[in-house]
Amino acid sequence: MHTAPPRPTDDKGTYVRDMFARIAPRYDAANRVLTAGMDEGWRKRAIALLDPPHGGQILDLCCGTGDVVFHLLRTDPSLHVTGIDFCAPMLERARERAPHEARGEAAFLEGDVMSLPFENDRFDGATMGFSLRNVVNIDRVLQETLRVLRPGARFVNLDVSKAPNRLFKRAFDLYFYRLVPLIGGMVGGSRQAYTYLPNSLTHHPNADALRERFERAGFADAGYVRLMGGSIAIHYGTKR
Ligand SMILES: C[S@@+](CC[C@H](N)C(=O)[O-])C[C@H]1O[C@@H](n2cnc3c(N)ncnc32)[C@H](O)[C@@H]1O
């Protein structure tokens, strides 16, 4: 394993990293308010779909302040979980939380998920929470994730998605594009950041298109589960 310093590969990467650096201190509080605490249940559901092997090595991509990492370890303290993220202030917060929240082995590493600093076939499972929309190149991240998983291991990705039902979509869009910037500005401390975050969904593939991207990257059994009328989706795939 090498630990070269992360280099966001273009302007979007730098923009995203700086934005998360600004909101890192209040990210957790804003998340709980913005999702009314429901994100906890979605994360649990994602981990249930991962079904990680007891004692396994799990990689959490774009770990941020560590929510998915801590959930994994609450589910099974025998897991060895590595969180990777390119934003140092988000990782700092994760490391602060670890002594109180990590029931087991959690390691946090600074790195870019577009170029994972791990050897092939290293992990027994991988997770990602609310982040695939933010990366510069989705296909590259999927290929990198596939590379570091051992054959038979699963990748589970939890994120907002495009609700198929028109009425539901309209209600969700009102919340996501109007209320999130307002509330995020107040609780999270940056209206600009919480305007970018919903907009990152606009150009993101819908659930079916994302499943196809999983397949094209080489994942077997690619599929997804819709939550909240499809405004949240959990995509999964297995390395052959
Ligand atoms: C919305 S936060 C999600 C954090 C966490 N997974 C969660 O569920 O709360 C998105 C995270 O993705 C990270 N990120 C975005 N692009 C990245 C990249 N190319 N490499 C590493 N981390 C990245 C950001 O720094 C940020 O911490």
pLDDT category, 9, cuts 50, 70, 90?
low
pLDDT category, 8, cuts 50, 70, 90?
low
Whether the predicted pLDDT of 6 surpasses 70: no
Atom index in ligand 1 nearest the CA of residue 8 equals 19
Is 5 domain-assigned? no
pLDDT category, 7, cuts 50, 70, 90?
low
Q: What is the pLDDT of residue 11?
A: 84
Q: How far is ligand 1, taken at its centre, from the CA of residue 78, in Å?
A: 25
Whether the predicted pLDDT of 21 surpasses 60: yes
Atom index in ligand 1 nearest the CA of residue 27 equals 9
Mapped onto helix, strand or coil, the DSSP state of residue 55 is coil
Q: How far is ligand 1, taken at its centre, from the CA of residue 81, in Å?
A: 16
Q: Is 62 in the pocket of ligand 1 (CB under 6 A)?
A: yes
Q: How far is ligand 1, taken at its centre, from the CA of residue 26, in Å?
A: 15
- Taking the alpha carbons at both ends of the chain, their separation in whole angstroms is 23
Of 8-17, 122-131, 171-180, 199-208, where does mean pLDDT reach its minimum? 8-17
Is 4 domain-assigned? no
Is 78 domain-assigned? yes
The Cα 27–Cα 223 span in angstroms is 29
The total of structural domains in the chain comes to 1
Is 3 domain-assigned? no
Identity at 179, one-letter amino acid code = L
Mean pLDDT of 152-163: 96
Q: How far is ligand 1, taken at its centre, from the CA of residue 203, in Å?
A: 17
Is 1 domain-assigned? no
Whether the predicted pLDDT of 4 surpasses 60: no
CA atoms within 13 A on the CB side of 197: 28
The CATH code of the domain that includes 60 is: 3.40.50.150
Is 209 domain-assigned? yes
pLDDT tens-digit map of 185-234: 888 888 888 888 878 898 899 999 999 999 999 999 999 999 999 999 99
The Cα 38–Cα 230 span in angstroms is 14
Helices 88-101, 11-23: crossing angle, 10 deg rounding: 50
Whether the predicted pLDDT of 104 surpasses 80: yes
Beta strand segments in the chain, E: 57-61, 80-85, 105-110, 123-129, 149-160, 220-227, 232-238
pLDDT tens-digit map of 145-154: 999 999 999 9
Is 6 domain-assigned? no
The Cα-based distances of 18 to 24, 138, 190, 192 in angstroms read 10, 20, 12, 12
Q: What is the pTM of this model?
A: 0.93
Is 214 domain-assigned? yes
Q: Domain of residue 67: give its range.
A: 11-238
Mean pLDDT of 78-99: 97
